[in-house]
Amino acid sequence: MKSRQEQNTGVRHVRDAHRFDERQLEAYLSAEIEGFSGLLAVTEFKGGQSNPTYRLDTASGSYVLRRKPPGKLLKSAHAVDREFRVISALHASGFPVPRPYVLCEDDAIIGTAFYVMECVEGRIFWELDLPGLDREERSAIYDHVNETIAALHQTDFRAIGLEDFGMPGNYFARQISRWTGQYRASETGEIRSMDSLIEWLPENIPDDDSTSIVHGDYRLDNMILHPTEPRVIAVLDWELSTIGHPLADFTYHLMAWQMPEIGIGSTGLVGKPLDELGIPGEDAYIEQYCARTGRDDIPDRNFYSAFNFFRLAAILQGIAGRVRDGTAASKHASQAVKAVQPLADLGWRYAAKHG
């Protein structure tokens, strides 16, 4: 069986369901992007399950196109316009994201809304234990990944023009309501632990109402590392970004230390010899983040973990709905369907620990 790295690295021929008129796209981009000319090849990236993402190779260089998938979609999902807006603001501020070029909301060009951005060349790691690297490089990579999310949460969203990118305050109440709705819209069977979380979470929201830009899916495989240096040069996949709670974002990222094998590819860092690998343990990683963001600690960690497992279960249930409807973008999407109940069960376990 191929490793997750092999399964998700590189490009493939564009799936039949995701094809479009390449000449029409070329004409549009030649008019909209300075220097764009001579479209030579269009391929589809293997990784990812939500917004189909393409590599455009041209005589003038390479670009990346992200689009809404064709077909019936859940309301508010696949918001490529929001992705484009947040990376535009962050790129201008110096945060590591690809350079954005153009957003097209005219469905007549390729069938759905899309945007085009810089093709950043570097390394994407799909395995959290970073096989093939030495201890020092692993340690340095995790340190920079931590530094990068801390920098995001310290960015003044008002100063970079994102004051109306989301509603400050009541983040958890709104998120729980949103993902409950998304889950119910895609529901394919009863999951008791999910029903229990839907009832429990709104009644146990912590008092901390901090606000920042949040990425929404901050994972190692959603960033590009420098080709030879242990540093993040581009954070990708901003579909779930909003103005929200930094601890929701950071503790979602902490699921890397909490996720056992449940059939969705990565096995997480549970049971790995972290000290031998040079990867910080969960508590040490939290200490690094707190030091960088001026926090003493993260109280109510079990609530945040329960919320994040609930949220991920709801996201994967949405994929289950797209598998049912024939619009899922990854051939591995059906694996995600099987993970919904284990994720909900893990979330309910953290809720029980919270009390």
How does the average pLDDT of the chain come out, rounded? 90
Q: Which CATH superfamily is domain 4-118 in?
A: Phosphorylase Kinase; domain 1 (3.30.200.20)
Residue type, 210: S
The confidence score (pLDDT) of residue 92 equals 98
The Cα angle at residue 296 between residues 295 and 297, in degrees rounded to 5: 95
Cα–Cα dist 355/351, whole Å:
6
Under the banding of pLDDT at 50, 70 and 90, the label for residue 10 is confident
Using one digit for the tens of pLDDT, what is the confidence trace for 334-351? Answer: 677 788 999 999 999 999
For the chain, domain boundaries: 4-118, 135-354
Question: Is residue 331 scored above 60 in pLDDT?
Answer: no
Is the pLDDT assigned to residue 217 strictly greater than 60? yes
DSSP structural state of residue 123: B
CA distance 19 to 13: 10
Q: Which residue has the higher pLDDT, 263 or 156?
A: 156
pLDDT of residue 235: 98
Task: Considering only residues 133 and 13, tell me which one the structure prediction assigns the higher pLDDT.
Answer: 133
Residue 336: its pLDDT value, please? 72
Q: How many CA atoms are closer than 13 Å to the CA of 191, on its beta-carbon side?
A: 26
Lowest model confidence (mean pLDDT) among 37-46, 49-58, 304-313: 49-58
d(CA 121, CA 63): 10
Is residue 188 within 8 A of residue 317, CB to CB? The reply is yes
Return d(Cα 319, Cα 48) in angstroms, integer: 11
User: For residue 351, what are its two tokens?
Assistant: 């809720």
Neighbours of 336 (CB within 10 A): 25
Domain spanning 135-354: CATH 3.40.640.10: no
Q: Tokens representing 196?
A: 């229990």
Q: Supply the pLDDT for residue 59.
A: 92
| Spatial separation of the C-alpha atoms in residues 340 and 346, rounded to whole Å | 10
Say if residues 97 and 90 touch (Cβ distance below 8 Å): yes
- The percent of residues above 70 in pLDDT, for the chain, comes to 90
Q: Cα torsion for 181, 338, 325, 25, to the nearest 10°?
A: 100
pLDDT at 338: 82
State percent of the chain over pLDDT 90: 74
Alpha carbons 318 and 161: distance in angstroms, whole number: 31
**Which residues does 169 contact at the CB level (< 8 Å), separation at least 6?**
209, 211
User: If you write DSSP's letter for every residue of 228-273 in order, what string do you get?
Assistant: SSSSEEEE---TT-EEE-HHHHHHHHGGGGT----SSS---STT--
Q: In this predicted structure, what is the pLDDT of residue 251?
A: 96
Q: What DSSP element (H or E) covers 11? A: strand 11-12
pLDDT at 17 (0 to 100): 85
Task: Express each pLDDT in 59-93 by its tens digit.
Answer: 989 999 999 887 655 555 568 999 999 999 999 99
Q: Evaluate if residue 167 carries a pLDDT over 60.
A: yes
- Model confidence band, residue 50 (pLDDT cutoffs 50, 70, 90): confident
Residue pLDDT, tens place only, 105-134:
999 999 999 999 999 999 999 999 999 999
Helix (H) or strand (E) holding 57: strand 53-58
Q: Could you tell me which of 52, 63, 66 has the C-alpha nearest to residue 18?
A: 52
Q: What is the mean pLDDT of residues 164-172?
A: 90
Over residues 162-190, the mean pLDDT reads: 91
Q: Is the dihedral of CA 322, 323, 326, 327 positive or negative?
A: positive
SS3 152: helix
CA distance 70 to 349: 37
**What pLDDT shows up at residue 337?**
76
Higher-confidence position of 229 and 355 = 229
- What value does the mean pLDDT take over residues 167-175? 90
Query: Residues 21, 23, 25, 28: is their CA dihedral positive or negative?
Result: negative
What pLDDT, on the 0 to 100 scale, is given for residue 249?
Answer: 97
Residues 255-300: tens digit of each pLDDT? 999 988 776 655 689 999 999 999 999 999 999 999 999 999 999 9
Query: Do 114 and 184 form a contact (C-beta atoms < 8 A)?
Result: no
State the pLDDT at residue 328.
Answer: 58
